A = this chain, B = another copy of it.
């Protein structure tokens, strides 16, 4: 009695996972102590060991959950309906928005990729994002075979370029914001619109001064 049960369906385990996710998302593994996690979760440190055998297992559980959530979130961005150019525009927009909506998950997964070179990254990012990548490649190939896109480029390369543009934006928008020429740091939609437009049209004028048949 007395203590107000703020978390009814609490299920201690979820509290722990949430606390760990929050802490692990903005500090490295060794920089997050079990004490801090227990404090954040509002429980005792010893209690964590009732649900998880050790720190690694807890971290792995958090990473697994975040990775899977992020995976489905990103997969939802691929909607292969309509003309290829529209699909690309839609994907770029949704994909970047998904990254920005759940920065904790992205940071969690990306930190793991940075630390463990290709060892554990294989288990998550590789297996976890291969489908997004494949879906994007498939869209591009369809566009090629349907004549909507040129056929003399590598679809996987374009997919990498598009994914990389979004990830890079996510990672360095805080830095880009301070650059004098950058006007899109706070406008992800505008950024993606510009990116896709450049990818589609190219930087070189169509041929000579023919020009402005843009539309």
Contact = CB atoms under 8 A, between A and B. Distances in A.
A31 B28 CA distance: 8
Interface in A193-215: 194-195, 197-207, 209, 214
Interface in A76-116: 85, 107, 110-111, 113-115
A50 interface: no
Interface stretch (A3-11, A12-20, A64-72, A130-138): A130-138
B183 A156 contact: yes
A110 B114 contact: yes
- Classify the secondary structure of A's interface with B: helix
Contacts of A171: 113-114, 167
Contacts of A181: 133-134, 137, 155-156, 159
Interface residues of A, number: 74
Contacts of A113: 171-172, 175
A168 B122 CA distance: 16
Contacts of A201: 150, 202, 204
Given A30-B30, A114-B171, A157-B198, 12 more contacts: A28-B29, A30-B31, A125-B172, A126-B178, A126-B179, A147-B209, A149-B205, A153-B203, A156-B181, A158-B203, A160-B169, A198-B199
